[in-house]
Each structure stands twice: as C-alpha cells, then as structure tokens.
Amino acid sequence: MSHPVISLVSARTLHLSAQNFYKPRIKKPSADDVVQAIRTMGLLQIDTISVVARSPYLVLFSRLGNYSPHWLEDALSAGKVFEYWAHEACFIPSEDYGLLRHRMLNPQKMGWKFSQAWFDEHQNDIQALLAHIAEKGPVRSADFSAEKKPNSGWWDWKPHKKHLETLFTSGQLMVAERRNFHRVYDLAERVMPGWDDATQALTQEAAEFQMLRRSAQCLGLFKAEWLADYYRLKRVDTKKVIANLLADEEITPVEVDGLEGVFYVHQQQWPLLQQALDSGITSTVTTLLSPFDPVVWDRKRASTLFNFEYRIECYTPEAKRQYGYFSLPILQRGELIGRVDAKMHRKEKILEVKSLHLEPGTRITSRRVQDITGAVNRFALWQGAEQVSVLKIPDVLEGYWNSGWQLS
C-alpha cells in the first residue's frame, strides 16, 4: 500500500512541532508555561550535572526562553508535577500519576532501583523511618548522618538514603519538593491526597497502552520502533497499539523521502501535515539543547531523523573525548548542525565556549552565524552571564567571534 510522501525537512518539522520547536516563542513565559511544556513533552528528564544549567532547566529554556528556573520547583511543591522513573528519573505531569503507579505497586520489576532483599533485611528501620516522617514531616537524605564508606555507587549509599530511595521506588514516599535541587521526601498520601489504588490504579497493560499513546503524541512523527523507548517500556506489543491507533484515527501513515519504512503522524500534527503535503514546512527555531532533551535522548532516532550521531562524553576519560564533557546539540531551523561544549563560570559571570564542532558538510552563512550567535547570547543571558569567552571553534567562525564578546 502506498502512503503520502513528505520531505525529510517536513518530517523533522512535524517531530519538532510536537516538541514545541516549530516557531520561536514571542510571548514572555509564565509559571504556567513550565507545566504546559512538561505536559507537551510528557516527561522532563532529571540530571544533576551543572557545568551549565542542570538539564531539566535547560530543556525548559530551549522551549520557553528567558524563564525563571524556580518555577519548576514551584510546580513540584504545588503538586502540579511529580517525580518518578519514566524514561529515566523524570518530572511528570501529576495527571499522569496513574500511568506510573503500577510500577510503584510492583517495584520488584524495577531492576537496580529496588532491592527486595534490602527491603526485607531492613524492614524494622524502614518502618521506623516511615513513622518518623509521618510524625515529624518531610526529610532529606542530608538529615541523616552515617560513616562514609570507601567505595562509590548505589550500594554504598548511607543506609537511610537507601531506605529513602527504596521507599520512593515502591511509591510509599514521594518527592514533595526540592531544596537546592536536593529531594525532600514525604508520605505519598500527603503528596497525592485523594488517590485511591482500588478505584484509580491502572493495570500494567492499560497503563502501557496509554504511555504508548502519549509517546505517539509527544513524538508527533515516529517509526513504530521509536515508541517504546519514550517511557522505557519493555516487551510491549507495539504493533497492536499502532493498529488500535490507526483504527481510532489517532495516527496516519506516511513515507519520508530518503528514509526507509513507514512513519506515522499523530493527529495533533495533521494541520501541519497537510501544509507539508501542499507546499512543505520547516522549523525556524534555533537553540541549544540539553543532552537529555527528548529530541536527542534516543540516539538511534536522532541518527535516523537528523543524521546526527550523538553521545554524551562526561563519563568518558578526558583524553578520549571527541567533543567535550557536556556538549550541547545546536538545533538550527530544523537541523542539528553541531554541538557546543560550554561551561558557566557563575562567580565571574562568564559563559565559556570551550569548543564548538559543526557537523560535516555544514556551510556557514551569515544567517547561520546570526542564528547561532543569538542562541548563545540568549543562553548566556538566561544564566546571568555578562561575557562570552571563546576557545576552540572552527576557523570559519573565528572571524565573527574572535575570542568572545561582552553581553549587553
């Protein structure tokens, strides 16, 4: 069966549109926009590396522009989002709590995140910790002291941190707020008042079907094999889900010029799909992305759709790094054209561009220079920088950037 054929540029644009990257944002962001952005993405992955802004704040900046990072923490403490394991550790809209609840009720399936042996061995201490929280209120891991052990890793956490994480994975505790980005744990019934497993919890099958539906919506355009990774689903019947979504007219099949196989477009993107079929569409957004942005967190998807081979190198020995410790993909008008390894010197108010690498074959035009420079400026100003310093960049950019510039 033949399907409508769209260009690769249009295919990328449909995906980027679903991720709020179709047109540059003009309206000044508000606190409500933070929650709405997370709803649109479905998930906001958490990572603590802070060589520049921590990843969840950066993912929101890429979509919202100059917003206040504390709005994310406010949304968490107000119960508009919650934390749990989804793609990885993520902020998730609170209305999607039911999609993840089955994982909490069966934590034995969560791999290293939950140890039944630890839970059983320390049952008395764990129950005492729950009683302490019930009586005294929320706690942080830092509220407990323990002798430091010589090794590192999850199994070397001090006992109370293991208890807290065990109770978090099993859904008995939730993150009520973050203080200086440190988790503050409280009883689940106080964080999600009114929740009733007997009447509201979904079966694993029903929840996973809904997660795959959400994945289709968040991806906008996708191949069948891309769906399961969004929520890290294992052994799901993706073909059956796609058949149901096709029957319900929630998605429609297309082919992409130059790429193999059938792609699907979610109904929210159908107005743009019609424009793509009529005359073509293209994204006009230029920004820097987090390594944990949904657009690039599936490395195979980024390779197929954007011809962008990407991996994070912060865990690679420095001598073996190709692009740098924490390189940020450069999204420019529908293409991933390169990556920037940057560091924010907060006391000095300097954003340091340690290196910038362009993708092979990327031509530098005056508009491209203007777009990239604007993206770096916005990124620097949002973090409070007053100056951009430049170290290693392509020769073609040196005439424009020299060794850096002051920000006004």
Tell whether the model's pLDDT for residue 150 goes beyond 90.
no
Range(s) of the chain covered by CATH 3.40.630: 311-401
Output the pTM of the full model. 0.94
- Of the pLDDT bands very low, low, confident and very high (cuts 50, 70, 90), residue 143 is confident
> What is the average per-residue pLDDT within 335-349?
97
Task: Please give the distance of CA 408 from its chain centroid, rounded to a whole number.
Answer: 31
Calculate mean pLDDT across residues 71-83.
98
Long-range contacts of 53-61 (CB under 8 A, 24+ apart): 53/344, 53/382, 53/383, 54/181, 55/290, 55/291, 55/292, 56/91, 58/288, 58/289, 58/290, 58/293, 58/328, 59/289, 59/290, 59/292, 59/293, 59/294, 60/34, 61/379, 61/382
pLDDT band, very low/low/confident/very high, at 1 (cuts 50, 70, 90)? low
User: Residue 332: which residues within 8 A CB-CB, separation 6 or more?
Assistant: 286, 368, 371, 372, 375
H or E element, residue 87: none
Q: Which residue type, as a one-letter code, is found at position 187? A: L
Query: Torsion angle, CA of 160/162/168/173, rounded to 10 degrees?
Result: -10
Q: Which two tokens stand for residue 329?
A: 């993909």
In 115-209 the beta strands, taken as DSSP E runs, fall at 173-179, 182-187
Q: Are residues 82 and 100 in contact, defined by beta-carbon separation less than 8 angstroms?
A: no
Task: Check whether 145 has a pLDDT greater than 80.
Answer: no
Report in angstroms the alpha-carbon separations of 367 from 9, 333, 381. 18, 11, 21
Token code pair at residue 341:
């390894």
- Strand ranges inside 205-267, DSSP E: 221-222, 251-256, 263-266
Whether the per-residue pLDDT at 67 is higher than 80: the answer is: yes
- Could you give phi then psi for residue 233, rounded to 5 degrees? -85, 140
Q: Does domain 311-401 have CATH number 3.40.630?
A: yes
CB proximity list for 287: less than 8 A, separation 6 or greater: 21, 62, 331, 375, 378, 379
Percent of the chain with pLDDT over 70: 96
Q: Which of 255, 407, 254, 281 is nearest to 344 (CA)?
A: 407
Tell me which residue of 38, 78, 165, 171 sits closest to 114, measured CA to CA: 165
Q: What is the pLDDT of residue 315?
A: 84
> pLDDT (tens digit, 9 = 90+) per residue, 349-396?
999 999 999 999 999 999 999 999 999 999 999 999 999 999 999 999
Asked if the model's pLDDT at residue 152 lies above 70, the reply is no
Across residues 304-326, what is the average pLDDT? Answer: 90
**pLDDT of residue 227 exceeding 60:** yes
Per-residue pLDDT tens for 180-213? Answer: 999 999 999 999 999 999 999 999 999 999 999 9
Give the chain's mean pLDDT: 94
